[in-house]
Amino acid sequence: MARETTLPISLADTRDRVKMWAFEEDVETEAMAQLRRISELPWVHGVRVMPDVHVGKGATIGSVIAMNQAVSPSAVGVDIGCGVAAVRTSIRADQLADLHLLRSRIEASIPVGFNAHEELPDLRRYGMETGVLDLFNRFETLDEKVQPLKTRAVKQLGTLGGGNHFLELCLDQEDRVWITLHSGSRNIGKTLADRHISIAKSLGHNQGLVDKELAVFIEGTPQMDAYKHDLWWAQEFAAHSRALMLGLFKEQVAKHFAGLEVSFDAPINVHHNYVREEVIDGQTLLVTRKGAIRAGAGDLALIPGSMGTGSYIVRGRGNPSSYFSASHGAGRRMSRTQAKKNFTEQDLAAQTLGIECRKDAGVLDEIPAAYKDIHQVIEAQKDLVEVVGHLRTILCVKG
């Protein structure tokens, strides 16, 4: 059942600011402490906590923070615009063949880890030329510290990165094949975030904060204007990057199944690390979703689990109690370091049995057991999203 609860904070003036879709006893002590610190900021209207909640840098992952005329760049994080995309194909399970070869083709087409394109792919093939050209024509308006990075940013558009980012092939309950992916704004997003986080920490109104990671910019100041300008740009970069990867992925799938007339449905492409101006409780606020998706009425989204448990396609119910939000994934239940200590490559192979993917030490920290149970996470937010379908992973590319 859904788990909407009010966080038992000792300070009376913050008691009603936090609502959770998780039980306090299931949340790490440090994550609870982070949530309390965030809720006590004077600019915070309210905090909503999703069932995939866990400790994050700057702010708790799986949280939605609504602020009045302020935003914390650390709360947004360094992977500005990180999110997911998905598209259903016309391919059926009984038409699948040689997934190892397909994975090789995908990895050759879409750079992973620290790699980048040697040259930006022909954007005209994917109908993206105008949007991307406009994006990079505005590069000179970004913070001066990132100006030397334009060539790198261009080449990293449409590339995966590492960590928990992925490219997957999945089957739905009708045995239809889906393409899914998870990625963010790469080095340019991180560099912009680091630059503005440093500026925020230096401002006078942030000097008395208990946690300097929660330093904020205030509306109406040049620092806020500069951050929002660069933030919107990085979010746009991330969305374009996912769109380009979808185009490259679809192209490889179509080539691999050349004997079929492959078609693709309209894509889903959503952020889960971002800021947006929204009307909450009758007020226009700046809403930061740190590892959370917008779940407005009818909004379609992808909520991924781990590389062994697949994902869920969901439709938002538009619940105002959660600030129209839902979880962004399963959420980690142990750190990457813990995962590497607790599990072996043999454990990884066993937990990803039947899935075409890497099974080496380089992705051991992404082992399914390091994540919460995605099915329980979905169950805990039934009042936030309606399940459209469950996707079972059959192929996974990691950086």
How is residue 391 written in tokens? Answer: 């996707």
- 273 labeled part of a ligand binding site: yes
Distance CA 260, CA 177 (A): 13
Distance CA 289, CA 292 (A): 5
196 among known catalytic residues: no
- 329 labeled part of a ligand binding site: yes
- 63 labeled part of a ligand binding site: no
- 165 labeled part of a ligand binding site: yes
Tokens 């006590």 locate to: 40
- 100 labeled part of a ligand binding site: no
Q: Which of 54, 271, 328, 390 is catalytic?
A: 328
- 335 labeled part of a ligand binding site: no
- 307 labeled part of a ligand binding site: yes
- 359 labeled part of a ligand binding site: no
- 316 labeled part of a ligand binding site: no
- 150 labeled part of a ligand binding site: no
Q: What is the largest CA-CA distance in the chain?
A: 66
- 135 labeled part of a ligand binding site: no
What SS3 string covers the chain? CCCEEECCCCCHHHHHHEEEECCHHHCCHHHHHHHHHHHCCCCEEEEEEEEEEECCCCCCEEEEEEECCEECHHHHCCCCCCEEEEEEEEEEHHHCCCHHHHHHHHHHHCCCCCCCCCCCCCHHHHCCHHHHHHHHHCHHHCCHHHHHHHHHHHHHCCCCCCCCCEEEEEECCCCEEEEEEEECCHHHHHHHHHHHHHHHHHCHHHCCCCCHHHCCEECCCHHHHHHHHHHHHHHHHHHHHHHHHHHHHHHHHHHHCCCCCCCECCCEEEECEEEEEEEECCEEEEEEEECEEECCCCCEEEEECCCCCCEEEEEECCCHHHCCEEECCCCECCCHHHHHHHCCHHHHHHHCCCCECCCCHHHHHHCHHHECCHHHHHHCCCCCEEEEEEEEEEEEEEC
- 90 labeled part of a ligand binding site: no
Distance CA 186, CA 333 (A): 25
- 168 labeled part of a ligand binding site: yes
Rounded to 10 deg, the angle between the 99-109 and 222-256 helix axes is: 140
Distance CA 218, CA 41 (A): 13
- 162 labeled part of a ligand binding site: no
Tokens 């394109």 locate to: 117
- 343 labeled part of a ligand binding site: no
The separation between CA 169 and the C-alpha centre of its own chain, rounded to angstroms, equals 18
Show which residues are catalytic.
Answer: 328
Binding annotation for Mn(2+): 79, 165, 182, 272
Known binding positions: 79, 164-168, 182, 272-273, 304-307, 311, 328-331, 398
Annotated binding residues for GMP, written as ranges, equal: 164-168, 272-273, 304-307, 311, 328-331, 398
